[in-house]
A = this chain, B = another copy of it.
Amino acid sequence: MVTSGGDAPGMNAAIRGITRIAHSKNFEVVGFERGWNGLLTNSFRWLTPRSVGGILHLGGTILHTSRCPEFKKNEAIKKAAETLALNNIDGLIVIGGNGSFQGALELSKETGTSIVGVPASIDNDVFGTDETIGFDTAVNTAVSEIDKIRDTAFSLERIFIVEVMGRTRGFLALAVGVTVGSEMILIPEVKYENERIFKTIRESEERGKKSAIIVAAEGIGDTRKLGNEIEKATGTEVRLTVLGYTQRGGNPSARSRLLACLFADKAVELISERHKSSLVVLQNGEIKSMRLEESCKTDKPIDLSLLGLAKILAT
């Protein structure tokens, strides 16, 4: 197996699960190190039920991960395919997000090794699965931190912008915004106009609310500039917090761990059945598989009706 791309809490739970389930089915297991780089340099370690002990509850990934831009080139893909052949590897489980699956799909065209994707990403932006490993943890981390900011918002009666991760997608910002009861949620999928923001804040003040929290995905643009503009328009001081990398780490939540265990089980099953290239997914509460290609070529839709509900809930 390999962990690739940005890390997500629960990756270690998946590593442990895959290793132990695979051993119970008499597979031998290795973990390539530092993402795709491990396949380019044939750098791996043996994984046994004992060597993956004590990691279930730890954030990050013991196999390390990395972004590997050269993995988009054909040469690199071929090198990786050779590494798989060299080591007689029957199946490769790729734990990661969209970028990693794109690479996995390319790789599957150059190798006979069965390839299975396991969605792990705090962004939750993988098409085909309702949830990725790590998403629930990142939401909870952001929520706990914004609960703390709420204390100061209440005491100081100001406006707070909290920037959460999400360069292109707003799944995290949306889930966080609803569950902290933020007065406004800004996501890349929805164009916003400054005037409408000012208006919402003014209406909120008129209803008797003296502080406001705006949750914004990093992908919506320059949040610092937005803060300045709100200050100018409303006359209320605005404070910005960028949660940053705290959202990636931490002990995985129970749900992220459970998902990792269930995905691990399905992934080993798919390897046993020698599927060419597939993805493990959660759909309507059920663990299933889909074609990797289908996930890679489709953008995951976002449920915008939640925005409307959030607005009513923040009245």
Contact in complex: B59, A151 (CB < 8 Å)? yes
* In the bound complex, CA of A15 to CA of B227 (Å): 32
Contact A147 B254 (CB under 8 A): no
Q: How far is the CB of A200 from chain B (nearest CB, A)?
A: 15
A207 close to B (CB within 8 Å): yes
Could you say how many copies of this chain the assembly holds? Answer: 4
Q: Which of A23-70 contact B (CB under 8 A)?
A: 23-24, 34, 49-50, 53-54, 56-61, 64-66
Q: How far is the CA of A114 from the CA of B162 in the complex (A)?
A: 41
With A60-B155, A254-B136 as given contacts, are A265 and B149 in contact (CB-CB < 8 Å)?
A: no
Given A245-B160, A254-B175, A255-B255: A261 touches B313 (CB 8 Å cut-off): yes
Q: A16-B181, A53-B209, A175-B254 are in contact. List 14 more A-B contacts (CB 8 A).
A: A56-B181, A57-B143, A59-B148, A60-B155, A65-B156, A66-B157, A140-B254, A143-B253, A145-B145, A148-B250, A241-B243, A253-B253, A261-B309, A284-B284
* A residues adjacent to B (C-beta < 8 A): 3, 6-7, 9, 11, 16-17, 20-21, 23-24, 34, 49-50, 53-54, 56-61, 64-66, 130, 136, 139-141, 143-152, 154-157, 160, 175-176, 178-181, 207-209, 239-246, 248-251, 253-255, 257-258, 261-262, 265, 283-286, 309, 312-315
